[in-house]
Each structure stands twice: as structure tokens, then as C-alpha cells.
Structure 1
Amino acid sequence: MVPLIFHHLAIGFVLSYPAVLTPAITGNGTRNGTEVQATKGEAAWVAAAYSMTGGLGFLMLPPLMQLYGRRFINATMNLIIFLGWIIIALSPNVPTLLAGRAIQGLSFGGLYICSILAGEYSHPKRRGFFIIFKITATSIGELICHGFGFTLSWRQMAWLASIPPALAALGTVFWPESPSWLAYKGRFDECLTSFEWIRGKDMESKREVKELITAQKKLRNMKRTKKSGLLIRNLKAMRSKEFLKPFTVVLMRQV
């Protein structure tokens, strides 16, 4: 769960960074020693670039998570944020700042994906705690960004903010793959091994993993849905309020 907490800490930096960047690039450049200058309109575009690409990331990440697994998607989300910070820290002009923020926006769907991961990797009795704690980590990241913004330049802040996503991506290397995803893919032996690594070998864990594997075997034995039927089902799902509400939140997050 530590990588998920670092991911939310990283999101806190991303959300709060305009409070540090905007005054620096729209002022006279002396406070933070910056050579990059921008109008208020340009600074507003830089701040909003994260939310502008957030919708695209929200649409892309869940299918990729189903195709390539939870470890892949968690590492990818954090590497995207890390790459954005490197681009911002080395940025010589406003368009490059805009590009760095836009790239980071592709990871925005991770706020919702991390809740799925918390559910799949943690014990049912502790899931509520982890979900609340990772949300708190976002607020802590915002607090650190605002606090250090008084003493660090916007470039130094970008370098500091690159640490949490780097640690999150590195920590993912030591994860086992999600048992739920392995069962979904029909890799039941690997599912059992992963589940035991995460939850142990007590009777409750054995019962839960047996139910998981049994349920997935039943689903796999059912008649496969035709591609046309699958497309119609996905289109209907995209029209539901369960999809439209979080999708709207992503688009409007920084408006």
C-alpha cells in the first residue's frame, strides 16, 4: 500500500503546484530567479493543462489496467507524473511548462484506480483505513507544496515533487500482481501464490481465494460475448451516471 500513498502524495504536489509556479512566472522574475516569463493568460493555461488531459487519462487507464495488470498501470501512472516534473524542472519556456503539466494530466484517472487497487490488495477490515489514509496523503502533499513554496523556487519545487512518484514507481517493482487480475486472466496458480503472499495462508484467506477463483472459472465458462455486443454494452456504460459523474469531476477539477 505504500506506493499508493506515495502516488496520492504526488497528486497533492501536482494539484498545488500552480500556487508556486504562477506568481513566479507572472511576476518580475526576481523572487524565484526565473528567466521564464508568462502573461496571466498563459499561466492560466499552464495551470489548467493538467485537467484538460485528465479526461483522456481517465478513459485510457482503466482499459490498460485490464489488459496489462495492476503493477503495470501503477508504475505507468507514477512514471508519467515523474516525467512531467522533469520536463517542468528543465523547462526553458512556457510551451514546455504547458507540455509538462499536460503529460501529468494523463495520470489523473489514478485517483480512482488507486481505490480499486486498495480494495484488491488489502484485507477487507483494513480497506477503509487505507482509502482514507491515501486521500489524506493528497492533502499532505498539498500542504508540503504550499509550505515549501515560500522558500523554494518553482524549479526546486519541481525537483522535490518528483521524489514521491519515483518512489511509488520503484515500490511497485516489489509488488506481486493483483490476485483478482490474475484470476480474471485465468492464471489461477499465480493467483493463489499472489494471494498467499499478500494475505497469508490462514483459513479465511484460503476460503476467500477459493471463492475468487471459483467465481472467475464460472465466468470464463459462460458463453463469450460477441464484439458487437461488447461495444454496445460499453457505450451504454459510458452513458450511465456512474461513469458520467467521475468523468465530469476529472474535466472540471481545476476549472
Structure 2
Amino acid sequence: MSVRYGAVETAYIPNNDDEYIFEEHFRENSEKIEPTFHERTWWDVVVESFLIVYLLITAANNGMIMGYSAVLLPQLKAVNGSLHIDDEMGSWIASINSASIPVGALLSGIFMNYCGRKGALLIYAAMVALGWVFILSAHNCTVVLIGRFIGGIATSLGMVPGQVYIAEIAHQKKRGSYGSISFIGLSFGILLVYILGSVLQWRIVAGLSIILPIVSAVMLLYLPESPVWYIRKGKIDKAMKACLWFRRNYDEAEEEIDELINRVNREKIEREISTQSTLSILCSRQVIKPFIIMNTFIMFQSLSGVYLFVFYAVEIIDKIGDIGFNNFFVSVVTAAVRLLFTIIATILFAFVGRRPMALISLIGTFVAAFVLGTTLYFAENPNSYVLATCLLCYISANTIGLLILPGMMLGEIFPAKVRALSGSISFSMFSLFNFVFAKMYPLLIQYLRFYGLFWFFGASAFLGTIYIYVALPETKGKTLHEIEDYFMANNLFWITRNKSSKETQRLLS
């Protein structure tokens, strides 16, 4: 059986009750709420504002989880603390949330499929709150570790469904801008937890951190489920109603539902006639090449100390010397600078290519880290202004590219067939690198000292600069098909690409 929606005739998909919903039913039920505007309306502004606030709050949850160890560890290591830990336990508390991220990444796909995007995000909010409850009520280090482990699961449990949900419900022209908001929210969450930790006891900080996931869950209750998920489950009527809620325009919603139905039908046909297994696609040139490039980029991101500083900010600031201010206050300043440069970076990405931003970030990180390490090595009592300037330059440089770019490029560099799977694997690799590096922190300090640690950051950024210059392709302004064509071409590195090939010419044009 087929049904005509608008100008497109498609194979009709029955809902779960095998009932068939016709176009007249949609028109009859949508006329009451459809203001037939094709221009931007007040409802568009309300929905967009609501989504932006929701995105900021959700990303801030993850930022608070990541940054909490920086304010927790100094308080737990204090002699008069309610719990006392050594460096070994501190490294576990800082790193264990990264170790649990792959678990959440695996569960997120299951929850998205069976519970929907909205259901998965509600589970995420509950998991975030549960992790904070464990920490709030902890009377020994084991319970703190459990809370941090749950928080790590929640981080990835919300990140993937959140990106998928926003991509599926946002207007096509707004999807790119929504992606950058998550990084701003992440930096804001780190700043917020640093501020709270600088003036409050760690249990109180954990208790206050429960507020954000509750607020995000309440906001989510007012949003419909993704129309894409409804279509894939055969619930065409609910998909139309959800789409009408977001678009408030029947013609636009009808066209979008047409496209979604056709896309799902095409995917089913392609799966039926395809002779390629998922494993064979993952092992193909067009996947292996971007996979190696992105995960090497992620490795240099970790080795350059981007997230290690987030995990141990207060402790590192305390050990590098007297900057002239309270260590907690300086950590708040570094987080504020990170937030500022995250906003600057999201603006610059609209005008500057990925490669220039990555190279500027890596070179800046190399210079700032090298100067800071050299200052710590040669100066017995280094000038506080020099230390503060080098430290803020280091934070600014790695934020403007290293912090943001790998996450941005994961959604555009892999082929559509395995984009979600490849992205999940790369995200798991990201968490593995951060776990190992954060766990090795006491060992690194023992053998390298703090001047050596920053030399290590600088050396990693320098090697990363060479690699990115040689291998990273420019993807700004290119379609996903053009990027796929580039990786299918016979080239190994970006600088040795065949500039005369048809695929490369199209990518360069």
C-alpha cells in the first residue's frame, strides 16, 4: 500500500497497532495549531531559545562532572578533611569517570533504540543526579569512586543521544550553530564547579550539582520525542504531531515527514541488497584513513594536557609556584578564560578553516607550555606575572582548537553508513587516552617534575603540529559527500594528495 504525502508517493509504514493514518487525519488535527507562516515566527524564537538553554544546561552537567575532581582532590588531601586520600587514590578519583565513559557510549545506543532519544536523555539526567547523590552521601573513598564512575557513564549516556536528538529536531539551517553550543556549555560547567568549589565544601558542591540535571529533565518533559525515532518505529501520526510542534507549519512539516519516510525506506532497501558487512565497511579505506587521523588527533589532544589540567587544575596551580593569588581563585580565572576562548573559537569557526585553527592552537600550546616549563626550571622564584601569563596563554591556546576540534570533526569526517559507530569508537578512544593519562599523573610528576610535565605538553603539541599539518584534511565548507570522496581517493596524507584528481579538485574548489 502507498500513500501520497504532498508531491511524494511513498510506501506507507504502519504503526505498532497496524492502523493506517491518512493525510486528511493530519490536516484535520493540524489546522487548529498551524499558523501558515513561511517566515520566522515567535514560535521559532521560543523553540530555538528553549533548545539553546537545554543544550547549555546538559553540556554544563558534563563540564561539572569533568571539573569536579580539580576542587575535590585538594579538599580530600587536606589534613582536616572529612575524608583523607593519598596521591594514588586521588589519581583514581580523577580518572575513573573517563574509564566508565565507554560503558555509557554502549548503553546510549541501546537506550536510544528502545526508549527513544527523549527517553535516553531522561535516563541520562537520572544517572547524573544519582552519581552526585553517591558523592554527597559518601563516607569512604569507595562510595566516591562509585559516584564518579556513574558520572562517567552519564557523561557519554547523554552526549550521544543529545547530539542525535538536536540534529533530528533542529531546523537544517540551525544545526551547525547548535553543535558549538555544547562546547560553550561544557566550559561553563567547568567554570561553575570551580567557582562553587572555591567557596564551598565538596559535599555541598555535590548537593548543588544535583539541581542542573533536575532542571534539564523538567525542560525535556516539555519537548516531544524525535520525529525520526517515531518514523523508524512506524508511528507516522506521532511523528507528524511532533514535527508540527517544532515547525508550526503544516506544509513544512509534511515535506519533512515525506523526506524521512523515503529515507527510512531507502535505508531498508539498501540493507537488503547490500553485500557488505559492517566489519568490511569499517576496514575500508574511506573509514580506516579518517579513523587513524582522528584518533591520532585525539591522542595529541590528551598528551598536550588539555583535560589533565581540567582534572587537576587547583593542584597543578599550587605546585608550579606562587602566582600571587589563592589557588582556587586562579583556577576559576583559568576556567573563565577557557569559556571566553570557547566562545571566540565558535565564532571563528564560521570564518576560519579547521586546519588553520588546529595549527594555531597546537603552535600556541607548544610555545606557552615550553616557556612555562623553562621558567619553572631555571627560575628559583619565578615572577608571578610571568607564571600567570604563561598559564593563561597555555589555556587560551589549547582551548581555541584542541579542546573543540576533535569533537566537531567526528560528525563530519566519517562516512554516513558507519558515522555513529565510528564516532562512538573514537569517543571511547578519547576516554581511554584521558583515563590512562590522568591515572599516570602522580607518576609523571614523580619522574618529570612540573617543569618536565609542561615540557612534555609542549613536545606533544609540537609533534601534533607536524602531524596535523601533514595529515589533517580541510573540511570547512565541504559537503559530507566531498569529504567521503577525498578519503576514497588514492592519497595517504593531505600534503601528498593528488591535486589533479577529480575528487580532490572538488574538495579544494
Give me the TM-score of the superposition, normalised by structure 1. Answer: 0.88
Query: Quick one: percent identity of the two aligned structures?
Result: 24
* 2:238 counterpart of 1:57: no
When structure 1 is superposed on structure 2, of 240-249 and 132-141 the one drifting more is 240-249
* 2:176 counterpart of 1:121: no
* C-alpha distance in structure 1 between counterparts of 2:432 and 2:123, whole Å: 21
> Radius of gyration: which is bigger?
2
**Cα distance change on mapping 1:156 and 1:223 into 2, 3 Å:** closer
* C-alpha distance in structure 1 between counterparts of 2:209 and 2:68, whole Å: 9
Residues 125, 216 of structure 2: 8 Å contact kept: yes
When structure 1 is superposed on structure 2, of 167-176 and 86-95 the one drifting more is 167-176
* C-alpha distance in structure 2 between counterparts of 1:112 and 1:251, whole Å: 17
Superposition CA RMSD, Å? 2.4
5 Å-filtered alignment, 1:7-18, equals 7-18=58-69
In the alignment, residue 132 of structure 2 is paired with which amino acid? W
The equivalent of 1:27 in structure 2 is 78
Residues 135, 206 of structure 2: 8 Å contact kept: yes
* 2:298 counterpart of 1:253: no
* 2:198 counterpart of 1:198: no
* C-alpha distance in structure 2 between counterparts of 1:217 and 1:66, whole Å: 18
Q: CA deviation at 1:202?
A: 4.6
The equivalent of 2:131 in structure 1 is 84
Q: Deviations over 1:51-97 (max 9, x none)?
A: 11111111221132122201110011111111000110111010000
5 Å-filtered alignment, 1:35-114, equals 35-109=82-156, 110-114=158-162
* C-alpha distance in structure 2 between counterparts of 1:188 and 1:216, whole Å: 12
Aligned counterpart in structure 2 of residue 183 of structure 1, from 217, 222, 231: 231
Structure 1 runs of 4+ off > 6 angstroms? none
SS of equivalent residue, structure 1 residue 92? coil
When structure 1 is superposed on structure 2, of 203-212 and 176-185 the one drifting more is 203-212
Q: CA deviation at 1:46?
A: 1.1
Q: CA deviation at 1:98?
A: 0.3
Residues 240, 253 of structure 2: 8 Å contact kept: no
* C-alpha distance in structure 1 between counterparts of 2:281 and 2:77, whole Å: 45
Residues 117, 161 of structure 2: 8 Å contact kept: no
* C-alpha distance in structure 2 between counterparts of 1:6 and 1:234, whole Å: 37
Residues 108, 250 of structure 1: 8 Å contact kept: no
Q: Deviations over 1:198-232 (max 9, x none)?
A: 1222533321222112322454577769xxx99x5
In the alignment, residue 255 of structure 2 is paired with which amino acid? R
SS of equivalent residue, structure 1 residue 175? coil
* C-alpha distance in structure 2 between counterparts of 1:235 and 1:181, whole Å: 27
* C-alpha distance in structure 2 between counterparts of 1:67 and 1:201, whole Å: 29
Q: CA deviation at 1:112?
A: 3.2
**Cα distance change on mapping 1:223 and 1:93 into 2, 3 Å:** closer
- Structure 2, unaligned runs of 5 or more: 1-50, 292-413, 415-421, 438-509
* 2:222 counterpart of 1:171: no
* C-alpha distance in structure 2 between counterparts of 1:237 and 1:160, whole Å: 43
Residues 180, 212 of structure 1: 8 Å contact kept: yes
Residues 117, 164 of structure 2: 8 Å contact kept: no
* C-alpha distance in structure 2 between counterparts of 1:183 and 1:224, whole Å: 19
* C-alpha distance in structure 1 between counterparts of 2:178 and 2:271, whole Å: 37
Q: CA deviation at 1:188?
A: 0.9
* C-alpha distance in structure 1 between counterparts of 2:111 and 2:434, whole Å: 23
* C-alpha distance in structure 2 between counterparts of 1:236 and 1:57, whole Å: 24
**Cα distance change on mapping 1:43 and 1:83 into 2, 3 Å:** same
* C-alpha distance in structure 2 between counterparts of 1:103 and 1:84, whole Å: 5
* C-alpha distance in structure 2 between counterparts of 1:70 and 1:56, whole Å: 18
Residues 58, 250 of structure 1: 8 Å contact kept: no
SS of equivalent residue, structure 1 residue 91? coil
**Cα distance change on mapping 1:234 and 1:114 into 2, 3 Å:** farther
* C-alpha distance in structure 2 between counterparts of 1:67 and 1:237, whole Å: 25
When structure 1 is superposed on structure 2, of 179-188 and 168-177 the one drifting more is 168-177
* C-alpha distance in structure 2 between counterparts of 1:11 and 1:223, whole Å: 36
Q: Deviations over 1:96-132 (max 9, x none)?
A: 0000000111123232332211111211112222221
**Cα distance change on mapping 1:178 and 1:44 into 2, 3 Å:** same
When structure 1 is superposed on structure 2, of 87-96 and 170-179 the one drifting more is 170-179
* C-alpha distance in structure 1 between counterparts of 2:431 and 2:207, whole Å: 25
Residues 85, 100 of structure 1: 8 Å contact kept: yes
Residues 7, 168 of structure 1: 8 Å contact kept: yes
SS of equivalent residue, structure 2 residue 203? helix
* C-alpha distance in structure 2 between counterparts of 1:235 and 1:18, whole Å: 41
In the alignment, residue 179 of structure 2 is paired with which amino acid? I
* 2:42 counterpart of 1:6: no
Q: CA deviation at 1:181?
A: 0.5
Aligned residue pair count: 248
